[in-house]
């Protein structure tokens, strides 16, 4: 059994002593540097110290190597109850939330043979079944190792579990991990961040420099900030004075009610206690894309849920979808799905995981005061729109150019194109470089070479989107500096109707589209994978891309 000796004054040279075959090694520091948009720099706050230790063989051994609590002979003696002056609301709050906080230790590839690095991060349990919310950059380095243990989640009571990475949204720097504990876990509820006020108290519990379950307090010290890290642009962050350090990434930012109001993600590189957390409202709104059950499992349900308000209330039902066929309506409150009780939009999306096209999903709804049971038959997502043979020649897409001053992508169908032609690459044509107030729509087909999971990326200044058939896969809309968004989807080999939209208002402009998939490293979507439909002889008339609803 290995004992962790952590002299507080020497965190950088924290050592491991082992009575088995673990060797002692000096720690290696590594910092991830990032840039904040407002012309100053921040750094992400995971991984500030990577440790190297001997990988003895198996995760079981590693589990034994990381005791989380004090040795038994150092445990505190029983003491008299604290006087109320010391046992204040903050102390109460910390006691209450502590059992839901995990220190994360990720096994990282690289280094000499037979050794494994690990890096520190933090997270919070947000559901009794063991779902953990953290930053993507905390687990990014181990995300490819699906077959190997990816890391450990360590609780304050010393218990620890190997986690799996369940869902990632790198462009938003959020991720969900899952641990299997066989019991119901204490969890933190998700708060709201739309009504945060300057000066309200904040609490952070995390794993700075690998010092598990360190506590710090502060206040909300800034609102409506934006920042970017090396991998993501974060438009909605809150600033706090609660001290953090490397390894704090993924820590919940907690309000006085014990609710999560943000996820600690970065700090100002030049300054003290200028710390940033992604707001919980932003995370709530991104949650459907994070879980992404329909795209990843290839089924269509066809409804959207309000992710901000309590409960799981339907806000939109897609025409011709299974939800529409069963007459579900906006305003219906979903109270159960697949045999699980549903009390939030978050739980509803989790209930969709591991479903497949053709399955039936029983759900319970409350419409007004009347409850109903509905059986939804999950339809195939996109199989009806794929073509087996090339629709035309490879080498690019049809391009329509529009003129206008927009703050969001317009409905190009309602506008008359100012020009059109063929485009070999998905980028701004040279003739439009430096110009303002225009829109581009690229249409045609993309060839998916083999069955698998594909991720498409749209990077743009200003807004952009990517559609497969009529399904919006990547949404990167709005006026903003260059930033990239992605969408991941499971596709069978074939040729799919493909649309990429872009608009530029003023200032700088840039547009890139890339993809990655089985055997394809992230790269610009090549002209050889892009097809236009055979023209029918009418000159200058762009072919109409079929956009029939998926799942019929």
Q: Which residues contact 79 (CB under 8 A, 6 or more apart)?
A: none
Nearest approach, Cβ of residue 521 and Ca ion (Å): 29
E-assigned strand segments in 109-232: 115-127, 131-134, 151-155, 160-162, 164-169, 174-178, 201-206, 214-228
Nearest approach, Cβ of residue 404 and Ca ion (Å): 14
Residue with Cβ nearer Ca ion (157 or 436)? 436
Q: Which residues contact 126 (CB under 8 A, 6 or more apart)?
A: 132, 133, 187, 188, 189, 190, 260, 346
Nearest approach, Cβ of residue 483 and Ca ion (Å): 11
Residue pair 96/254 in contact by the 8 Å Cβ criterion: no
462 binds Ca ion (CB under 5 A): yes
Nearest approach, Cβ of residue 330 and Ca ion (Å): 34
461 binds Ca ion (CB under 5 A): yes
Residue pair 145/153 in contact by the 8 Å Cβ criterion: no
Residue with Cβ nearer Ca ion (331 or 507)? 507
What H or E segment, with its residue span, contains residue 4? strand 2-5
Nearest approach, Cβ of residue 30 and Ca ion (Å): 35
Residue with Cβ nearer Ca ion (435 or 534)? 435
Which two tokens mark 46? 């995971």
Which two tokens mark 398? 């049809």
Residues in the chain: 552
Output the CA–CA distances (angstroms, integers) from residue 297 to 168, 319, 374, 543, in the order listed: 15, 20, 21, 31
In angstroms, rounded to a whole number, what is the distance separating the alpha carbons of residues 189 and 225?
A: 24
Q: Which stretch binds Ca ion (CB under 5 A): 197-205, 253-261, 279-287, 506-514?
A: 506-514
Q: Which stretch binds Ca ion (CB under 5 A): 186-194, 291-299, 375-383, 499-507?
A: 499-507
Q: Which stretch binds Ca ion (CB under 5 A): 68-76, 117-125, 410-418, 456-464?
A: 456-464
Q: Which stretch binds Ca ion (CB under 5 A): 82-90, 120-128, 461-469, 543-551?
A: 461-469
Q: Which of the 8 DSSP states describes residue 104?
A: E
Q: Which residue is nearest to Ca ion (CB)?
A: 507
Residue with Cβ nearer Ca ion (172 or 462)? 462
Output the CA–CA distances (angstroms, integers) from residue 119 to 51, 151, 220, 231, in the order listed: 6, 9, 28, 18
Nearest approach, Cβ of residue 111 and Ca ion (Å): 42
Nearest approach, Cβ of residue 458 and Ca ion (Å): 15
In angstroms, rounded to a whole number, what is the distance separating the alpha carbons of residues 153 and 163?
A: 6
Q: Is 205 buried (19+), middle (13-18) or exposed (0-12) by CB count in 10 A?
A: buried
Residue with Cβ nearer Ca ion (3 or 506)? 506
Residue with Cβ nearer Ca ion (359 or 508)? 508
507 binds Ca ion (CB under 5 A): yes
Output the CA–CA distances (angstroms, integers) from residue 19 to 13, 144, 152, in the order listed: 19, 32, 21
Q: Which stretch binds Ca ion (CB under 5 A): 141-149, 213-221, 393-401, 460-468?
A: 460-468
Residue with Cβ nearer Ca ion (279 or 483)? 483
Q: How big is the site for Ca ion, counted in residues (CB under 5 A)?
A: 3
CB 7: neighbour CB atoms within 10 A?
Answer: 9
Nearest approach, Cβ of residue 433 and Ca ion (Å): 12
Q: Which stretch binds Ca ion (CB under 5 A): 168-176, 314-322, 452-460, 462-470?
A: 462-470
> Which residues make beta-bridge pairs with 344?
311
Residue with Cβ nearer Ca ion (165 or 428)? 428
Residue with Cβ nearer Ca ion (71 or 507)? 507
Nearest approach, Cβ of residue 475 and Ca ion (Å): 18
Q: Which residues contact 94 (CB under 8 A, 6 or more apart)?
A: 203, 205, 215
Q: Which stretch binds Ca ion (CB under 5 A): 19-27, 232-240, 364-372, 505-513?
A: 505-513
Residue with Cβ nearer Ca ion (319 or 431)? 431
Q: Which stretch binds Ca ion (CB under 5 A): 85-93, 438-446, 458-466, 511-519?
A: 458-466
Q: Which residues contact 78 (CB under 8 A, 6 or more apart)?
A: none
Residue with Cβ nearer Ca ion (287 or 438)? 438
Residue pair 516/522 in contact by the 8 Å Cβ criterion: yes
Nearest approach, Cβ of residue 422 and Ca ion (Å): 25
Nearest approach, Cβ of residue 99 and Ca ion (Å): 47
* Contact set with Ca ion (CB under 5 A): 461-462, 507
């Amino acid at each position: 059994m290995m004992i962790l000796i952590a002299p507080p004054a020497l965190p950088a040279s924290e050592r491991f002593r082992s009575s088995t075959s673990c060797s002692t090694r000096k720690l290696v520091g590594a910092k991830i540097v990032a840039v904040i948009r407002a012309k100053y720099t921040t750094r992400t706050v995971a991984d500030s110290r990577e440790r190297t230790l001997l990988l003895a063989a198996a995760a079981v051994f590693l589990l034994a190597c990381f005791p989380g609590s004090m040795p038994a002979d150092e445990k505190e003696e029983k003491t008299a109850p604290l006087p109320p002056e010391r046992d204040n609301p903050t102390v109460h709050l910390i006691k209450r939330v502590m059992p839901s906080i995990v220190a994360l230790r990720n096994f990282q590839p690289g280094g000499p043979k037979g050794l494994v690095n690990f890096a520190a991060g933090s997270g919070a349990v947000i559901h009794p079944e063991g779902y953990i919310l953290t930053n993507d950059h905390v687990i990014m380095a181990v995300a490819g190792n699906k077959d190997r243990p990816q890391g450990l989640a360590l609780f304050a009571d010393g218990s620890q579990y190997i986690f799996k990475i369940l869902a990632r949204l790198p462009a938003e720097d959020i991720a969900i991990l899952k641990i299997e504990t066989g019991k119901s876990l204490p969890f933190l509820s998700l708060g709201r961040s739309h009504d945060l006020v300057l000066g309200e108290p904040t609490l952070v519990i995390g794993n700075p420099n690998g010092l598990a379950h360190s506590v710090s307090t502060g206040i909300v010290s800034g609102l409506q900030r934006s920042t970017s890290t090396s991998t993501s642009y974060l438009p909605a962050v809150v600033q706090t004075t609660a001290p953090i350090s490397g390894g704090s990434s993924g820590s919940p930012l907690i309000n006085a009610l014990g609710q999560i109001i943000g996820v600690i993600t970065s700090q100002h590189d030049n300054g003290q206690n200028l710390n940033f957390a992604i707001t919980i409202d932003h995370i709530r709104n991104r949650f459907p894309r994070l879980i992404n059950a329909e795209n990843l499992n290839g089924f269509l349900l066809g409804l959207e849920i309000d992710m901000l308000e309590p409960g799981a209330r339907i806000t939109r039902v897609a025409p011709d979808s299974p939800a529409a066929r069963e007459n579900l309506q906006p305003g219906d409150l979903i109270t159960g799905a697949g045999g699980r009780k549903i009390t939030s939009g978050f739980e509803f999306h989790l209930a969709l995981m591991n479903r497949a096209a053709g399955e039936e999903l029983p759900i319970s709804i409350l419409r007004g005061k009347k409850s109903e049971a509905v059986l939804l038959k999950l339809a195939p997502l996109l199989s009806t729109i794929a073509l087996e043979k090339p629709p035309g020649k490879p080498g690019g897409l049809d391009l329509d150019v529009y003129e206008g001053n927009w703050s969001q992508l317009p409905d190009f169908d309602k506008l008359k194109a100012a020009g059109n032609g063929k485009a070999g690459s998905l980028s701004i044509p040279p003739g439009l470089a430096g110009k303002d107030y225009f829109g581009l729509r690229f249409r045609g087909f993309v060839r998916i070479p083999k069955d698998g999971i594909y991720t498409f990326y749209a990077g743009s200044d200003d807004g952009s989107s990517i559609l497969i058939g009529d399904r919006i896969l990547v949404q990167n809309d709005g006026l903003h500096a260059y930033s990239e968004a992605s969408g991941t989807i499971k596709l069978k080999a074939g040729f799919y109707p493909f649309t990429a939209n872009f608009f530029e208002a003023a200032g700088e402009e840039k547009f890139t589209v890339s993809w990655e998939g089985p055997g394809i490293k992230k790269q610009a979507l090549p002209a050889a994978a892009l097809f236009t439909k055979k023209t029918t002889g009418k000159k200058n008339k762009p072919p109409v891309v079929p956009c029939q609803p998926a799942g019929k």
